Amino acid sequence: MVTAAPSLAPPTRHRRAAAVRHLGPNWYAAVMGTAIVATAGAGLPGAADVPGLRTACTTVWALSAALLVTVLGARTLHWIHHRDQARAHLLDPAMAPFYGCLSMALLAVGGGTMVVGRDWIGIRPAVAVDTVLFTAGTVIGLVAAVAVPYLMIARHRIEPDQASPVWLLPLVAPMVSAALGPLLVPHLPAGQPRQTLLLACLAMFGMSLLATLVMLPLILARLITAGPLPLALTPTLFLVLGPLGQSTTAVGATANAAPGVLPSSYAGGLGVFAVLYGVPVIGFALLWLSLAAALVVRARRRGMGFAMTWWAFTFPIGTCVTGAEALARRTGLAAFDVLAIVLYLLLVTAWAVAAVHTGRGVVNGKLLAAPRR
């Protein structure tokens, strides 16, 4: 009797499982960074007059949705087959904060669905998709905003010189919900449902903002007392821009949604607050952007190579674009139009560089290999 020779190659499922052993939650940053290119581009001043721009943004949104599905699938395999590694990530103070990225990836793709994805799938499916992604992203973000700091306090052992901008990731997730939740307000029944969502977004704005204000002094103190971050972590300095730009976007979006939902006195006050808060914060964001860029140039000259931390150049800058766009619409100042366009060009450049290097690293296997000790 002739029997078939055993296959020398391992089953495809096992190969895939082995490939994702070291794929951490930081990979969701690629989804966030791609989605923000779409939403920020659609809101640029004069975007409607640029031929093909909206189609290009919708295409990028579709790419971000495909990336989300891919990374969710890979992370599911990771949790099923490599629970030891997943638990190690949670107990690693350098990796645990990236669990906030899952929330922001869901929220960013959901928001992009409402902004540009509706052009291809229609408004009712877009609302349905965003409702699911916004709900899941918000719940996960609120859990991460509590769970990660809890782990840092109760389980992690952290030295003062280990303070990092990465610590902001779980704290800024509720701010992303605050910025994107107002997109769903008009699609809820009038009255308390709309008011509840809008005020919930305002509460998440305050939650994230105050937590960020507590954390930022620790990060700045570490930089001043211990010197620049290690080369590979230097791009994470751009993460500080995230809560700054996103909070400006959030107050602008809340003010836009408030008329007809909240009493006129509250709606008017939110409109004033959007400007009085947003302008100083964008000013500080530009200061931090300059400082972070100078430190990145310094690190690059000292041999900083590509790592997944380069995705920190994308989403945070994108939030500053959407923040500048919100201020441009509310103030009518051409200066904010120019700022939004300049920052968007910087965003697209950073995204292209990070995407090319990531694709190359996946193909050659370097980005999926075990980290060097």
Q: What percent of the chain lies above the pLDDT cut of 90?
A: 82
Mean pLDDT value of segment 99-106: 96
| pLDDT over 90 at 106, yes or no | yes
- Dist. CA 99–CA 12, nearest whole Å: 28
- Looking at every residue in the chain, the average pLDDT score rounds to 93
Angstrom distance (rounded) from CA 289 to CA 59 = 28
Domain spans in the chain, listed from the N-terminal domain onward? 19-212+224-365
Percent of the chain with pLDDT over 70: 95
pLDDT in tens, 205-234: 999 999 999 999 999 999 999 999 999 999
Q: Which of the two residues, 7 and 115, has the higher pLDDT score?
A: 115
Per-residue pLDDT reduced to its tens digit, 320-333 = 999 999 999 999 99
| pLDDT at residue 7 tops 50 | no
Give CA–CA dist 132/175, Å, rounded.
18
| CA distances for 243 relative to 20, 239, 270, 285, angstroms | 30, 8, 19, 9
* pLDDT over 80 (residue 11): no
Mutual angle of helices 53-81 and 100-112, in 10-degree steps: 150
Cα dihedral across residues 64, 70, 76, 78: positive or negative: negative
pLDDT at 8: 43
Q: Which two tokens stand for residue 39?
A: 């939403």
Alpha-carbon torsion (179, 113, 173, 304), positive or negative: negative
CA dist., res. 104 & res. 96, Å (int): 15
Q: 7: which 2 tokens?
A: 């296959």
Residue 294 CA to residue 282 CA, distance in Å, equals 18
Q: Taking the model in full, what pTM does it have?
A: 0.93
Res. 32: pLDDT tops 60: yes
In CATH, what number does 19-212+224-365 get?
Answer: 1.50.10.150
pLDDT at residue 355, as a whole number: 97
* CA dist., res. 358 & res. 178, Å (int): 30
